[in-house]
């Protein structure tokens, strides 16, 4: 056990964070971290000179501190996270804290000291601190070399008002913006590989994600719903999903399959999905739809078909994966931790009533004519009403109040 208090310093990119924007960003990230670290021995989180500092309880061990840092690194808005100690503003104390941090940081053969002084009321400048702390550490580790360019280890020393923070283990985070700083989006979430990655990418840009899943129920089992729940729990770990609406879509698909030309079925299912998702988005106060489509991946993802589905909704449709290859998406899903869940087979509406040869170049007037025979508007309301809702922990999410909803509706 060490005598110093353990801390994690959270660094964020400062580009684009000016004026008022910056305080909002910091407060949002702080609140998100507070909620996500609830199960860890955290005393408090403070804003300190362009960083957030997570203070850990006395007696917290290295493994726990590392687990805290690893989670923080996956939270949108974190550009870098460093594990270390708080110590008095005294050079000898800083050297002792640095040694404690270096002893835990794993194998290294070269290092450098990077000091930063945020208050000029500390009389020693950062260059001098680098030199003095560096020399003391050289003496303490005679077999290690100081290297300014690409050292194995960088020992950070940050002096602020009233204290110093010293760390040796520092890892890049996922970057982006804290969830809740960019509004709400409705993500069409299947149990496949792509759509969880698409949702995650939007969360990383600060959007609160509300999922909409179309289940084949009652024409299929509810297996896909369990997979989507498992996927949502993975996204929940880093605050990247707020809730999921599950829409029982099987009966309407059956009606479409019975009445529409087989080649148009998929495009018609998808247009109906988009309309229902848009209705749910409206109820949630979401400003856009999100899908996991990637250009040309399957028949429904040709330019013509994308245009044909987009034509049915007014909200913008974001496709964060449109220009990515499947292998890249798989790699991202693996890092995210959703890949193994998504690789399990479950019948959902995508496997239901599929035609042999779907249309790849749908023409809008032809599709509109086929839809004329169906009570689409009525279905949209009924399906949105029939959706089952499941909530996940997301500190940034505020369910829309009836009053806010009524005001927004009146403004439409």
Binding-site ranges for ligand ATP (CB under 6 A) = 188-190, 192-195, 212-214, 291-293, 297-298, 348-350
* Partner that binds at residue 214, options Mg ion, ligand ATP, none, CB closer than 5 to 8 Å by kind: ligand ATP
Smallest separation, CB 246 to ligand ATP (Å): 9
Smallest separation, CB 158 to ligand ATP (Å): 43
How many residues of this chain interact with Mg ion, rule: CB under 5 A? 1
Report the alpha-carbon distance of residue 307 to residue 309 in Å, rounded: 6
Smallest separation, CB 215 to ligand ATP (Å): 7
Smallest separation, CB 192 to ligand ATP (Å): 2
Report the alpha-carbon distance of residue 215 to residue 244 in Å, rounded: 12
- The answer to whether 243 touches 217, Cβ cutoff 8 Å, is no
Q: For Mg ion, which residue has the nearest CB?
A: 194
**H or E, element range at 47:** strand 42-48
Smallest separation, CB 227 to ligand ATP (Å): 10
Smallest separation, CB 306 to Mg ion (Å): 13
**In terms of DSSP bridges, do strands 80-87 and 145-146 run parallel, antiparallel, or are they unpaired?**
unpaired
Question: Which of residues 252 and 395 has its CB atom nearest to ligand ATP in the complex?
Answer: 252
Smallest separation, CB 192 to Mg ion (Å): 5
Question: Which of residues 296 and 399 has its CB atom nearest to ligand ATP in the complex?
Answer: 296
- The answer to whether 208 touches 290, Cβ cutoff 8 Å, is no
Residues 163-202 that bind Mg ion (CB under 5 A): 194
Report the alpha-carbon distance of residue 14 to residue 142 in Å, rounded: 37
**In terms of DSSP bridges, do strands 153-160 and 42-48 run parallel, antiparallel, or are they unpaired?**
unpaired
- The answer to whether 210 touches 244, Cβ cutoff 8 Å, is yes
Contact between 229 and Mg ion per CB under 5 A: no
The torsion of the CA quartet 120, 125, 126, 130, rounded to 10 degrees, works out to -150
* Partner that binds at residue 130, options Mg ion, ligand ATP, none, CB closer than 5 to 8 Å by kind: none
Question: Which of residues 194 and 222 has its CB atom nearest to Mg ion in the complex?
Answer: 194
Q: For ligand ATP, which residue has the nearest CB?
A: 192
Report the alpha-carbon distance of residue 412 to residue 408 in Å, rounded: 7
* Partner that binds at residue 190, options Mg ion, ligand ATP, none, CB closer than 5 to 8 Å by kind: ligand ATP
**H or E, element range at 390:** strand 388-391
Question: Which of residues 165 and 214 has its CB atom nearest to ligand ATP in the complex?
Answer: 214
CA-wise closest residue to 66 among 158, 136, 171, 220 = 171
* Partner that binds at residue 341, options ligand ATP, Mg ion, none, CB closer than 5 to 8 Å by kind: none
Q: What are the residues whose beta carbons fall under 8 Å from the beta carbon of 94, sequence distance 6 or more?
A: 87, 129, 133, 157, 164, 166
* Partner that binds at residue 82, options Mg ion, ligand ATP, none, CB closer than 5 to 8 Å by kind: none
What is the binding site for Mg ion (CB under 5 A)?
A: 194
């Amino acid at each position: 056990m060490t005598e110093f208090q353990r801390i994690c310093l959270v660094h964020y990119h400062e580009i684009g964070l000016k004026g008022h924007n910056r305080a909002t960003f910091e407060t949002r990230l702080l609140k998100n971290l507070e909620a996500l670290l609830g199960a860890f021995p955290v005393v408090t989180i403070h804003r300190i000179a362009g960083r957030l500092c997570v203070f850990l309880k006395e007696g917290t061990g290295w493994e726990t501190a590392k687990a805290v840092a690893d989670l923080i690194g996956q939270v949108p808005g974190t550009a870098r996270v460093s594990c270390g100690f708080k110590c008095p503003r005294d050079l000898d104390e800083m050297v002792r804290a640095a040694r404690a941090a270096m002893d835990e940081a794993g194998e290294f053969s070269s290092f450098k000291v990077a000091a930063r002084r945020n208050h000029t009321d500390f009389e020693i400048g950062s260059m001098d601190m680098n030199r003095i702390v560096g020399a003391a550490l050289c003496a303490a580790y005679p077999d290690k070399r100081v290297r300014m360019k690409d050292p194995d280890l960088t020992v950070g020393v940050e002096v602020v008002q009233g204290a110093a923070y010293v760390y040796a283990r520092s890892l890049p985070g996922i970057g982006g913006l804290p969830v809740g700083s960019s509004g709400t989006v409705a993500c069409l979430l299947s149990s496949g590989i792509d759509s969880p990655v698409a949702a995650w990418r939007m969360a990383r840009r600060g959007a609160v994600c509300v999922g909409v899943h179309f289940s084949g129920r009652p024409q299929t089992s509810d297996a896909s719903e369990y997979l989507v729940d498992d996927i949502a729990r993975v996204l929940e770990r880093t605050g990247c999903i707020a809730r999921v609406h599950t829409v029982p879509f099987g009966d309407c698909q059956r009606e479409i399959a019975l009445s529409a030309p087989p080649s148009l079925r998929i495009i018609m299912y998808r247009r109906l999905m988009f309309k229902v998702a848009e209705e749910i988005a409206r109820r949630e106060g979401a400003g856009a739809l999100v899908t996991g489509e990637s250009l040309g991946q399957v028949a429904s993802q040709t330019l013509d078909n994308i245009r044909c589905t987009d034509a049915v909704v007014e909200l913008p449709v974001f496709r964060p994966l449109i220009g990515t290859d499947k292998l890249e998406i798989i790699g991202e899903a693996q890092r995210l931790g959703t890949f193994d869940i998504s690789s399990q087979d479950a019948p959902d509406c995508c496997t239901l009533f599929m035609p042999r040869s779907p249309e790849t170049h749908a023409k809008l007037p032809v599709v509109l004519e086929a839809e004329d025979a169906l009570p689409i508007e009525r279905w949209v309301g009924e399906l949105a009403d029939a959706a089952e809702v499941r909530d996940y922990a997301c500190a940034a999410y505020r369910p829309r109040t009836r009053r806010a909803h009524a005001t927004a509706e009146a403004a439409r």
